[in-house]
Amino acid sequence: MRFKGFALVAGGMLAMACGGGGETPKTETPAPAPEMAPAAPAAPAAGTAAPITGTTHEIKMVGDEKGYRFEPASITAKAGDGIKFVMVSGGPHNVAFDAATIPEDVKGQLQANMPNSTDFASPMMMNANEAWTVSLGNIKAGTYGIICTPHLAMGMKMELIVQ
């Protein structure tokens, strides 16, 4: 019985210490939510890859006694074409677009068209005959610089002209 009495007194004291007494809390009526303007029509999602609808061009990535290079070092393609990069020798190689040459309104689409990539760069290709393909679907006309990150100091770069 003594324990029950003690528990009752302790519980009452705890209730008073945790908010008992004092002013009655004021309740405020929340302000009504502001009216929202109708949503604008959504633009096409830049995060969706555009398919290859034209020709797929092949670029070889080579490193040998003649140096490190893309073959060919310049290519002209059309929007909708694909570019297939094949690691031939001298790896590892990758394909990295020069972000400074990509117009702001193209960056989202180009990144979406680059499978398994980050920051406009393909994965590293380590073995002969490994390949990686990028779609030029929905990419606007312009000249885009491409490099191989591990071999940039050795001059491994190319130019992609999209018509």
Q: What is the pLDDT of residues 136-153, one digit of tens each?
A: 999 999 999 999 999 999
Provide the whole-model pTM: 0.71
Count of structural domains within the chain? 1
Mean per-residue pLDDT, 47-53: 93
Question: DSSP letters along 87-127, please?
Answer: E-SS--B--EE-GGGS-HHHHHHHHHTSTT-BTTBPPPB-S
> In degrees, to the nearest 5, what angle opens at C-alpha 130 toward C-alphas 50 and 158?
65
Residue 19 within any structural domain of the chain: no
Q: Is 42 inside any structural domain?
A: no
- Output the CA–CA distances (angstroms, integers) from residue 91 to 30, 33, 126, in the order listed: 64, 59, 6
Which candidate, 108, 156, 148, places its Cα nearest to that of 132? Answer: 148
Instruction: Identify the weakest region by mean pLDDT among 19-23, 37-41, 43-47, 96-100.
Output: 37-41
pLDDT of residue 45: 45
d(CA 160, CA 67): 20
Output the pLDDT for position 11. 47
Please indicate, yes or no, if residue 128 is contained in any of the structural domains: yes
* CA–CA gap between residue 40 and residue 54 (Å, rounded): 33
Residue 27's pLDDT band (cuts 50, 70, 90):
low
User: Is residue 14 domain-resident?
Assistant: no
pLDDT at 39: 42
Residue 39 domain flag: no
Host domain of residue 121: 56-162
In whole angstroms, give the CA distance from residue 159 to residue 72.
Answer: 9
Domain assignment of residue 27, yes or no? no
User: Does the residue 93 lie in any domain?
Assistant: yes
- pLDDT > 80? residue 16: no
From 20-24, 60-64, 156-160, the region with the lowest mean pLDDT: 20-24
Q: Are the CB atoms for 115 and 88 separated by under 8 Å?
A: no
Q: Is residue 132 part of a domain?
A: yes
Contact 48, 112 (CB under 8 A): yes
Domain CATH number, residue 123: 2.60.40.420
**Structure confidence at residue 40 as a pLDDT band (50, 70, 90):** very low
Radius of gyration of the chain (CA): 31
Residue 128 confidence (pLDDT): 97
All residues at 6 or more sequence positions from 73 whose CB lies less than 8 Å from its CB, including other chains: 157, 158, 159
